[in-house]
Chain A
Amino acid sequence: MARISAGIATSHVPAIGAAFDLGRTQNPDWKPIFDGYEWVKEFQRREDPDVVILCYNDHASAMMLDVVPTFALGCAEEFAPADEGWGARPVPMVMGDPVLAGHLAEQLIIDEFDLTLMNHMDVDHGLTVPLSLMFGKVEQWPVRVIPLAVNVTQFPTPSAERCWQLGAAIADAVQSYPAGLNVQIWGTGGMSHQLQGPRAGLINPEFDNAFLDKLSNRTDDLRKITRLEFLRESGSEGIELIMWLIMRAALGETVEELHRFYHVPASNTAVGHIVLRPTR
């Protein structure tokens, strides 16, 4: 049967993708950030996962206009990198896993999660920047990817608790899959940042570090964070952190923290990154 062997969270700042694509990873502004991901690249070489369930948000690249899905699961064979206004990122096509995605869709909807199923979508920096950070520059991504896009653009987003419940259901759905796959789940976005209005540039390291501290074994506190508190404390785009809770819930009750990185700033954003291993 399939098993979730690790959960990884990371910010997915577009400027990180631009720095990566333009070969600026060693310049003084960017080097500390890319250095923070050296550990995980080595970890991934050892772990060699088959599939990643990748929780991210679409930044008005593939959806959010004619339809506004709260949770959208990518069921296609492949997903092309989106052109976000300056050409698509020069990264490989993202290969899906329609069989596992179909299984997840079935199980999760039976378990009361009314997912939107995407048979075609392009994927933007929210999904491809984490891939670049975890695997570096490659000809082909070494994993299949099932995108799970969460609405964090239009209020109301799903609540922290709803994201938690979805993650817990994903754990069950993966466990009931007959093939022996090594599955990882990633939560992306955050940490604190605000990209709009006169309060833009907001960063709240106390909030971010408390979130990282509680992610292993004080998750009850995180599940209670309201949308209002996210917006107020972590900035209007910091609410992306709800996607980390899907990842965390899918790991089960107890985890071991293997690695953590926090850095301010990347462009407008506080960068956070954590690697967790389920312990039972």
Chain B
Amino acid sequence: MRTRLYSLEELDDIPGTTVFNAMRSRQAYHLHKFCMSLMDAGNREEFRKDEAAYLDRFRMSQEQKQAVLDRDFNHLIELGGNIYFLVKLSNTDGWSAQKAVGSMTGMTPDEYAAMMRAGGRPIKGNRSIRGKN
């Protein structure tokens, strides 16, 4: 057997972080197709007119569709989503990247912006779930 520098399970030890891998990429394939469709101004218009009907054009799970309607980015990531795709949705809504990203932290936009201005979330205490901090 080949040796590895670390076990891939170590990736699950990073708190508040989901590593986007091939399996998640597959799980979110149609969700991401939807996101990428928003790179077209005409599609953005159609989506705004009737979000639910627009989402029905894609072979996404009901749960994924609901999470899009709710703009629940943490849930979308649980369902396989990746932020580089998901920002197409928040961009369509006219959100700043900071607002979209901050929405996943449980902080208000102002609280999150203040944290960033003060130097961001510190690494200390945020390295490891199992306490390797």
Contact = CB atoms under 8 A, between A and B. Distances in A.
Interface stretch (A101-109, A231-239, A247-255): A231-239
Given A15-B97, A197-B77, A202-B123, A228 B11 contact: yes
A199 B16 contact: yes
Given A65-B32, A86-B94, A232-B127, A202 B18 contact: no
B62 interface: no
Interface of B: 5-6, 10-11, 14-22, 25, 29, 32-33, 35-36, 38-41, 44, 73-74, 77, 82-85, 87-92, 94, 96-98, 101-102, 104-106, 112, 115-117, 119-123, 126-128
Interface in A2-61: 14-15, 18, 59-61
Nearest to A237: B83
A207 B41 CA distance: 40
B97 to A, nearest CB: 5
A184 B5 CA distance: 34
Contacts of A82: 39
B109 to A, nearest CB: 12
Given A60-B85, A201-B121, A83 B41 contact: yes
Given A87-B41, A155-B11, A265 B84 contact: no
Given A68-B25, A203-B121, A195 B83 contact: yes
Nearest to A235: B17
Which has the most chain A C-beta neighbours within 10 Å: B5, B39, B73, B126? B39
A194 B100 CA distance: 12
Given A82-B39, A203-B120, A233-B123, 18 more contacts: A60-B88, A65-B32, A85-B39, A154-B82, A194-B121, A195-B83, A196-B101, A197-B104, A198-B104, A202-B123, A203-B123, A228-B10, A231-B11, A232-B127, A265-B119, A267-B98, A267-B116, A268-B97
